[in-house]
């Protein structure tokens, strides 16, 4: 965390045990960020399943995500959400028409066929991250969360390599960014509440 509004995101590949690896990554990151002893930091869950830290890191807001072969965690001083997905062949346009907002489905449908799968995941991860930041996941309208579609696909890389969180349309106070993961088959997004313009401290870890 590089400032009071910064969001720290750690992600990386994992051969197996993605959930356990995500929890280990989260606890170690919390200990590093707070300076608290690792053995005193615990992980609990609210009744709705939202993760929270206990002990010296209890004031941090956190989010956890895992997908086949990868895991990601996010930590911030304000509500935060993270989602990582492993890109697999899916009927992207059919899924967009079934689950996402009409504007999203129309945008996916206008793209060349080879671009539709990564574009679908680009939408899905952001919606999942925003829903987690709000504390309800994809329920309660999470799949229809408005997103600004890039004028060109793929979107150009951010200056400096890691984008800041950008405010989303709809007046919900949420801000989001899709983060670079290199050439691997993963799409990673992070979101926060009241954090538009906040920098992202993105770290890859291979524990």
**pLDDT tens digits for the chain (207 residues)?**
555 578 999 999 999 999 999 999 999 999 999 999 999 999 999 988 899 999 999 999 999 999 999 999 999 999 999 999 999 999 999 999 999 999 999 999 999 999 999 999 999 999 999 999 998 877 766 788 899 999 999 999 888 888 899 999 877 789 999 999 988 899 999 999 988 999 999 999 986
Q: Which residues are 52's β-sheet partners?
A: 44
Q: What single DSSP character describes residue 50?
A: -
Q: Characterise 73 by phi-psi region: left (phi > 0), alpha (psi -120 to 50), beta (else).
A: beta
Assess if CATH 3.40.50.360 describes domain 7-204: no
Domain boundaries, the chain: 7-204
Instruction: Give the pLDDT of residue 4.
Output: 52
Contact 68, 179 (CB under 8 A): no
Q: What single DSSP character describes residue 38?
A: G
């Amino acid at each position: 965390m590089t400032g009071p509004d910064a969001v720290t995101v750690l992600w990386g590949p994992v051969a197996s045990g993605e959930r356990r690896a995500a929890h280990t990554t989260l606890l170690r990151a919390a200990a590093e960020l707070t300076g608290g002893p690792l053995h005193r930091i615990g992980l609990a869950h609210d009744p709705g399943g939202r993760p929270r830290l206990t002990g010296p890191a209890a004031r941090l807001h956190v989010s956890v995500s895992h997908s086949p072969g990868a895991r990601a965690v996010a930590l911030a001083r304000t509500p935060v959400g993270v989602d990582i997905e492993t890109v697999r062949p899916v009927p992207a346009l059919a899924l967009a028409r079934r689950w996402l907002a009409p504007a999203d489905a129309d945008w996916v449908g206008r793209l060349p066929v080879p671009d539709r799968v990564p574009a679908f995941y680009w939408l899905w991860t952001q919606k999942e991250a925003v829903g987690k930041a709000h504390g309800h996941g994809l329920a309660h309208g999470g799949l229809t969360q408005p997103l600004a579609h890039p004028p060109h696909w793929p979107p150009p890389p951010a200056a400096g390599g890691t984008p800041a969180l950008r405010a989303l349309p709809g007046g919900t106070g949420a801000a989001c960014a899709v983060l670079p993961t290199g050439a691997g088959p993963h799409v990673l997004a992070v979101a926060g509440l009241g954090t538009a313009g906040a920098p992202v401290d993105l770290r890859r870890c291979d524990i």
